Structure 1
Amino acid sequence: MTFSTTSNEACKLFDATLHQYVTWTNDATFGGIEGCLSNIKSADPDFVMGYVLSNGLELIGTGRPPLLDKELQNDLKTMSDLAKTQSLTEREQSHVAAVENFAKGNIVKAAAFWEEILQSHPLDLLALKFAHDAYFYLGQQMQIRDSVARVLPHWTPKTPLSSYVKGMYSFGLLETNFYDQAFKVASEALAIEPKDGWSVHTIAHVHEMKADLEKGLAFLQKTEKNWKVRW
């Protein structure tokens, strides 16, 4: 992903943050997600996509209300103001617009901006993950599935984090009652990365929905060492 910044360090930290977000981890070597976000601002205080990432994560986390939290309001304003003064790519502008709409409570429009990005940039993992979480909040099960399904053919086994994308897809299949297919896709993802939390989540729910509690409990006990650190 190409950014409008001259700071190589900011780009590396952006990638490290996104990696932790997708994999449900906090890497102590980077100071976790919070440490990465703080260091991104230090590396380039005017990095618009850094604000997109930090503001987006705050909004997705739902722990800080944008209408009441003054600090978050200021960060959102800084993002919008910087976006107006810089020569951003169309893709970056869409990311800014998505976060702005999410902050205003228009999650549907935010998701539409992320989908627009994915049409021309199917490997944009930030847009994919933000959209995925937005559809979860909206309760739009088919979009949870189809948003990932539309871009999945572009994610080859050699693409970094592709197994996690399969895990996201498996969750969408689960949410739309395709239990056998969800189990298959999640199992394929876990064969590549046993610590994938979404795939574990999917398989656990498949056993639950089939009322196969013994297999579900056995699966969770067997794999606990892999998924325990993801939650």
Structure 2
Amino acid sequence: MTIRDSLGLPISGATDTGAAFYQKAVHELQCFVGDPVGSIDAAIAAAPGFVIAHVFKGYLFGLATEREATAVAADCFAAASGLGGTARERTHVAALGHLAQGRWHAAGGILEDLTIEAPRDALALQAGHQIDFFTGNARMLRDRLARALPAWDEAMPGYHAMLGMQAFGFEEMGDYGRAEALGRRAVEIEPRDGWAQHAVAHVMEMQSRQRDGIAWMRANPDAWAKESFLQVHNWWHLALFHYDLGEIAEVLALYDGPIFGTRSSVVLNMVDASAILWRLHLGGVDVGGRWTPLAENWAPKAMSANYAFNDAHAMMAFVGAGRADLAGALLDAQRAAMEAGGDNAGFTRDVGHPLTLAIKAFGEGDFAQTVGLLRPIRSIAHRFGGSHAQRDVIDLTLIEAAFRAGNAALAAALAAERLAARPDSPLSQLFMKRAARPAEVT
């Protein structure tokens, strides 16, 4: 008898027990809660020939943006490759193979074609959506889900996740009204959906609705934070709202608590820690000794230089901690990465390396060089991944560097630009006040 998943798709090599663990892992991943690795390991233990379970595990590790995790993804690809399976499953295996070799765009393209043919393949949609995020492909963040949603309805398991992903895609494309409506609906259906929660937070961040954002995030934090492996990123969103309002004590409390209180060595968590401390650093806030443990955690991870977006955030920590040795080693690792294969060579060459150099220059007080390095990459920064909210740190660094370089005309132009884009942001208004006093720009 053919065993099928909860949406009716055949899953080769599964047993009833293995399928039950697999469905548990799918739900955990769709909500970003629990232990999907543990659940999928249990599925594989119950059914060693379970093709899509090996693929699922490979996606979990391949999307972690850490070298050691990518090696696990390669092992999962090897295990799945010899198991056969349906045409759909073999396509998944091919996509995983590309991902494990750092060919992000190829993996995303294969999954795009797969979900055109099988729009109810929830795993293909979610893996593809994450690839779109890590490659900064805003249009596909929207359109991958838009193509599939007509085949879905609210009675289907995982429908909330489809709405949450579509919400984030709409937000990244600037369609804020529909993004917020879909994100809120997803959270109504499944309050533990951390990705949908975060999609609505992104809308409020882009619209400078700080008080709304704080209310949204503080309304039910147990739902999106408890046992959630996306919780640090969502706490970071809350910290951004307080940061824009100038509520520095709140930001530091969040940093010392849920953002980096446990001193996580997970790269995606350290990205958020670096990103919030660097914003404070740009504003002249003394963060005390907070940079040092963060830099120490980055040190063994950053030297792989396997994902350019991470490199820039590692450099923030090295600059903040005054670790010129680690900064130099990171730049050497990036130079090697640009000579290696895979898409990260392009991510690094186009955006990551000049940005990392600019952050180092800022730390050394060479603000003119920072400006010179950042201006050419602003319009292409999406190429190295992340969201608009995350990449905003590039603009913030550029503005501050222009002020400190004494380039009053550029600082005024950038301040006016930001006010036009974010008229309700207190930070935008602060930049305008500084620009109106050119003798004080430095």
Q: TM class by shorter-chain length?
A: 0.7 to 0.9
Percent identity of the aligned residues?
Answer: 28
Residue 29 of structure 1 corresponds to none
Instruction: Tell me by how many angstroms 1:72 deviates.
Output: 5.0
8 A Cα contact 1:51 1:79, kept in partner: yes
**Bigger-Rg structure (1/2):** 2
Residue 175 of structure 1 corresponds to 172
8 A Cα contact 1:66 1:103, kept in partner: no
TM, length-normalised to structure 2? 0.47
1:135-170 deviations in Å (ceiling 9; x for gaps): 001100010011001111111111112122101101
Alignment counterpart, residue 90 of structure 1, candidates 79, 87, 91: 87
The one-letter amino acid of 2:176's match is Y
The runs of at least 4 aligned residues of structure 1 exceeding 4 Å deviation read: none
Alignment counterpart, residue 188 of structure 2, candidates 180, 191, 204: 191
Q: How does 1:1-231 map to 2 (within 5 A)?
A: 1-5=9-13, 7-26=15-34, 32-65=35-68, 69=71, 73-80=74-81, 82-83=82-83, 86=84, 88-229=85-226, 230=228, 231=231
CA distance in 2, matches of 1:158, 1:56: 26
Which SS does the other structure have where 1:61 is aligned? coil
CA distance in 1, matches of 2:90, 2:133: 24
Flag the structure with more relative contact order, 1 or 2, with Cα contacts below 8 A and sequence separation at least 6.
Answer: 1
8 A Cα contact 2:73 2:100, kept in partner: no
Listed as ranges, the gaps of 5+ residues in structure 1 are: 27-31
Structure 1 residues 220 and 73 mapped into 2: Cα distance closer, same or farther (>3 Å)?
closer
Instruction: Tell me by how many angstroms 1:36 deviates.
Output: 1.6
1:88-110 deviations in Å (ceiling 9; x for gaps): 21101100000001111111111
8 A Cα contact 1:23 1:196, kept in partner: yes
Instruction: Tell me by how many angstroms 1:76 deviates.
Output: 2.8
Larger mean CA deviation between 204-213 and 91-100 belongs to: 204-213
Instruction: Tell me by how many angstroms 1:74 deviates.
Output: 3.7
Which SS does the other structure have where 1:11 is aligned? helix
8 A Cα contact 2:43 2:53, kept in partner: yes
Residue 433 of structure 2 corresponds to none
CA distance in 2, matches of 1:188, 1:6: 33
Instruction: Tell me by how many angstroms 1:54 deviates.
Output: 1.0
CA distance in 1, matches of 2:76, 2:194: 30
8 A Cα contact 2:95 2:110, kept in partner: yes
Instruction: Tell me by how many angstroms 1:59 deviates.
Output: 0.3
Listed as ranges, the gaps of 5+ residues in structure 2 are: 1-8, 232-442
TM, length-normalised to structure 1? 0.88
Instruction: Tell me by how many angstroms 1:12 deviates.
Output: 1.7
8 A Cα contact 2:55 2:76, kept in partner: no
8 A Cα contact 2:163 2:186, kept in partner: yes
8 A Cα contact 1:49 1:92, kept in partner: yes
